[in-house]
Chain A
Amino acid sequence: MSLVNASEEIRRIMTPDDITTMLSNADPGAISNAERAALHAMVRTTTGRGRLRRFAPRSAATIMITGALIAVGGAAAAATLSVWHPWAQHPDLTAQYTMTDGQQCEYRIVFEPGTTEAARTALTEAFTNSEVLTPAAVDAAIAAIRADPGAQRDADTGEPMGYGTAHYNAEWEYFNAVNAVVLSHVSDLGASQELATRGQAECE
């Protein structure tokens, strides 16, 4: 079909008719002024001065962060953002850490039903034992991750995020390396199959 004919066809089929009118009158998408105001605040909360990034994909049941990066306790850097999921309001484990670009992050872990006492103990130890998450261990984990560029994938699109790919993200890689070290420790203790957690990380 030529461009001229296509344009004519579009004009013809888009001409207002009975269906157009009926659909217009049936639109359930009306937004009130109060909702517009709430949306405005919502957008500013998300995209405002406090940069917000979520590092825990919805599919991550066993993401953790730990060790030498963590200063447990103290002021919660991201607590004022009011972005925590309801299940993350009362975490079992909390960590504050600094990403490679200097962003302050808070990571909250919640144990889900199914986590055994042994698994809780193993994870808690991984969080608190400074010999678990050493720089050397993280470097080794990064090397292992880079050996498989397809290992890191975007939680939303499934696109590869590994080293050398278009969507490579050094912070995300570091985050995954830390998780890998912790999971390895928990696995060494024989508890990885008994671990069920949810995690949410927020940075600003």
Chain B
Amino acid sequence: MRVDREACVSAIEATAPDLLAYFRRRLPKEDAADAVGEVLTVAWRRVQHMPDDPHEARLWLFGVARNVLLQAIRSAVRQTELSARLRALAVESAAPADAGITVRDALGRLSEEHAEVLRLVHWDGFSLTDAAAHLGLGDSTMRSRYHRAKASLRAELSVHAD
């Protein structure tokens, strides 16, 4: 299979910031850079499987990212020279405490499946259909899970606001 290298590079470049954000929402900030580095390595090794359509390529890259995330959760993310610069920047730009911490804490108290749906839709910009495909769920299952996730978050926030 012939690979259009420039098209692949463009797809990866276009998605890379969103991949970094994806990991930053789910891993310690300093680990996110290494996780992106791992995605780039894996993606390029399997580049012959990358879809031609930009949207499909983006979803494919997020699929790679999900596998890297699951691996990272199971074991410490490997530090690479490739991501050293980005890792250093992450430490330098550590976010100050902000009002969002209440919401993030509440999100952290939800079940992982509820929290992940909300992260995908509200932070990563996935449609419900794309989020369903990303998680290997049916559309109707995704809709009901999303409903329940929002209700759970609202309940968590209400409890802690009382």
Contacts and interface: CB of A to CB of B under 8 A. Distances in A.
Interface in A37-54: 38-48, 51-54
Size category of the binding interface on chain A: 35 or more
B22 interface: yes
A156 interface: yes
A157 B67 contact: yes
Nearest to A9: B143
A47 B11 CA distance: 11
Contacts, number: 144
Nearest to B143: A9
A86 B76 CA distance: 14
A85 B78 contact: yes
B122 A23 contact: yes
A46 B20 contact: no
B55 interface: no
A42 B36 contact: yes
Interface SS of chain B: helix
B45 A14 contact: no
A30 B21 contact: yes
Interface of A: 1, 6, 9-10, 13-14, 18-20, 22-32, 34-36, 38-48, 51-54, 58, 82-86, 156-157
A-B complex: 5 closest residue pairs judged by Cβ atoms? A26-B100, A29-B21, A26-B103, A23-B122, A46-B40
Given A27-B122, A43-B9, A47-B8, 8 more contacts: A13-B146, A38-B86, A46-B40, A46-B41, A48-B9, A52-B41, A54-B41, A156-B67
